[in-house]
Amino acid sequence: MRILLDKSVPVQVRGFLPNHTVSTAAAEGWDRLSNGALLNAVEAAGFDVFVTADQNIRHQQNLLKRKVAIVVISTNRLTVLQTNPQSITQAVDAATPNSYQVVNFPRPPRRRNPYPPNP
């Protein structure tokens, strides 16, 4: 399958998908396109799956008539994605035309401020 990684997705995610042809929005020259124009370009270029970390894409775009499958990852923090890369691989492998899938990753615990507030 041909996969396009949105500009919001770390390029290292490409390594999670060794059995696919993976490109990035930046490599295609599409990193400045808005979501609608980007999805049109992705479909026109024949990509099968669009991977993004934009969790609002479902609410911003009418996805009903799209041919491309969309996989949304819940974070773009590489350290978190590396804890379970196979979940992205499985979502991409299971993608079918016009499908939409969210891959949720647990939120890392918040760091405590090492400096207490001044009284």
pLDDT per residue over 21-34, tens digit each? 999 999 999 989 98
Which of 67, 91, 64, 109 shows the shortest CA–CA distance to 9?
Answer: 91
d(CA 59, CA 96): 20
Q: Which residue has the higher pLDDT, 52 or 55?
A: 52
Could you tell me the pTM of the whole model? 0.86
Residue 40 has pLDDT above 80, yes or no: yes
Q: What is the reported pLDDT for 96?
A: 93
pLDDT given for residue 108 in this prediction = 66
Find the DSSP H helices in the chain. Answer: 25-28, 35-44, 57-60, 78-81, 85-94
What pLDDT, on a 0 to 100 scale, did the predictor assign at position 119? 64
115 confidence band (pLDDT: 50, 70, 90): confident
CA proximity to 77, closest of 51, 107, 103 = 107
